Chains A and B, each alone.
Chain A
Amino acid sequence: MTTILSNIKIKELEEKARDIRISIIEMLAEAKSGHTGGPLGMADVFALLYFYMLKHDPQNPSWSERDRLVLSNGHICPVLYATMAHAGYLPLEELKTLRKFGSRLQGHPHREFLPAMETSSGPLGEGLSQAVGMALALRVDGKENQVYCLMGDGELNEGQIWEAAMLAGKEKLGKLIGIVDRNNIQIDGSTDKVMPLLPLKEKFEAFNWHAIEADGHDFQSLNNALVEAQAITDKPSIIIARTIPGKGVPEIENDYHWHGKAPSKEEAERFISVLKNPSL
């Protein structure tokens, strides 16, 4: 894995991220419910992971050598589904079925419906423990697979996250990389108001993690963080990715009311035209 991303690669990732964002808006408008802010904010992270960083095979989702990605903050699954569709795990057409009766794209990820995901989630705070379990099991088997765990910043309120963090530190899980969607919002308002997290980097360091801050909308910055995290083999790493909830649609950026709201048909049209032509 090279450290410097070429301009061509960056351009390609930007296009992927834009397509993912457009799909997110389309599927949410069709579903008429669901979460918009978090998914738009994490589209760049997902684009980099699925189109550059992850060892995976969309044609063979159960490939044993794949990296494992646990989405702990399951409510942002529109970005997972859209990215998986663009990567070839499922037909793009299927995105329209989000949240509909009988769909594989459940309102929150349910692995029984879509086994290409590593786990089910939605209830917050439970993913990191599962990722720790995967990393421990892989290590016992002498495997080198990387285990990623994505979490929300509000989600870090849950005590279970810190129980898992303590264990990962104790076990020196060098193959575990956590990524925090540091968007400063949760449901009741800003994270500062609901439950301040600062100093966050130092909290993880105190739990014997290697902590890195990155710009969640800058592919080079994110890539540097991931490469640095992969090079740390005697500790788990956490990447605190600074993101903007609603990123790409200025009229909803940073507005916590968009945590769990879907755009109307008219809003969706407007948002998509802005995404297609940001200078508008």
Chain B
Amino acid sequence: MILNPKIFSSDIEMKATREGFSEGLLLAGDENKNVVALCADLTESVKMDGFTKKYPERFFEMGIAEQSMASVASGMAAMGKVPFIGSYAVFSPGRNWEQIRTTICYNNANVKIIGSHSGVTVGEDGGSHQCLEDIALARVLPNMTVIVPCDAIEAKKATVAMAKTNTPAYLRLSRPKTAVITAEETPFEIGKSQVFFTPKEKAVAGIVACGHLVYDSIKAAKELENEGIFVSVLNLATIKPLDEEGVLQFVESSGGKIIAVEEHQKYGGMGGAVAEFLAKNRPTPMEFIGADDVFGQSGTPDELIERYGMGASSIKEAIKRILER
């Protein structure tokens, strides 16, 4: 897999996935004049400001009204537009979940939901704003595609790809700058998982990760390799539809033991999606990295990743635990 050659260097570029989305939205807008953007008073935070400046007549300010925004977008989609709706994940798909369910998914309307500021890395704003439930909320809806990009470049590609599908999709973004682990040449396809780290000897376990924690997962795998423990890492950017074949192959080549890593509640998220599939098709011991049925709180992103047990050291501990099972 072609990744950023600087992936293990300390001067790796840092960029927020919401920045990547911003570039992707401009590309999508250039390509298709039906692409429109709607925002609920968070245009700069969600990084729709670039699109707004370039295409002011294709941007619609909704005011602080996320429920209305979802259904307005549904109406626009019915008229042939490709609406991108933006807010923080806790408000969209959080607050407006039922509007998304009925007016977007039930109608199979071509609306793209952009949920920024997901997870505890929101930081100082505190638990009310740190959405740890959105993957669950989105993936439980029929017709919905769910994508959690691992870095800014993948976020850009996912945005462009989403604009070309004809169905509802959710893109989960983060606030802080995170490591850019892929390269422009790294392939991206909705619904395809990718092995991002293969250890030099046969893997005894595998990490399935999504979002910026893919980077922490790769770092953990590299450190473990130096300790003589060999684990591989799968980037599961599309959580729904699940790349069943890719996941199965990964389990087979990774010692039949899996650690799911995500910045989300352990219940209902990406790990849950993988577990549901594997329990039926290839029962596999699993460990879960994520929030343990708790809300977040104020702090720096690093403090909170540590406190809620989602960083590289927690991932390494989980590997050691699963190897004993």
Contacts and interface: CB of A to CB of B under 8 A. Distances in A.
Interface stretch (B37-45, B166-174, B238-246, B274-282): B37-45
19 contacts: A33-B123, A74-B128, A99-B125, A99-B126, A101-B300, A101-B307, A102-B299, A106-B128, A107-B124, A107-B126, A110-B127, A122-B128, A123-B128, A154-B64, A157-B41, A158-B65, A187-B42, A188-B61, A193-B61
B91 interface: yes
B98 to A, nearest CB: 13
Interface size for chain A: under 10, 10 to 19, 20 to 34, or 35 or more residues? 20 to 34
B42 A108 contact: no
Interface string A37-65: 00000000000000000000000000000
Interface of B: 39, 41-45, 61-65, 67-68, 90-91, 95, 123-129, 297-300, 303-304, 307
Interface in A43-101: 74, 99-101
A159 B63 CA distance: 11
A155 B40 CA distance: 11
A108 B64 contact: no
A120 interface: yes
8 closest Cβ contacts across the A-B interface? A195-B63, A101-B299, A107-B126, A157-B63, A122-B128, A157-B64, A99-B124, A106-B126
Contacts of B62: 195
Contacts of B68: 159
B56 to A, nearest CB: 12
Nearest to A187: B41
A123 B95 contact: yes
A196 to B, nearest CB: 9
A103 interface: yes
Nearest to A156: B64
Given A159-B67, A188-B42, A122 B129 contact: yes
Nearest to B64: A157
Given A157-B64, A194-B41, A31 B126 contact: no
A31 B124 contact: yes
Contacts of A103: 298
Given A157-B64, A188-B43, A188-B61, A108 B303 contact: no
Nearest to B40: A157
Nearest to A101: B299
A101 B297 contact: yes
Nearest to A158: B64
A196 B242 CA distance: 44
Given A157-B63, A157-B65, A107 B125 contact: yes
A121 interface: yes
Indicate the member of B44, B63, B67, B304 with the most A CB atoms within 10 Å.
B63
A246 interface: no
Contacts of B297: 101-102, 106, 110, 113
A194 B124 CA distance: 26
A186 interface: yes
Contacts of B45: 187
A107 B304 CA distance: 14
| Listed residue (A99, A100, A101, A113) with the most chain B CB atoms within 10 angstroms of its CB | A101
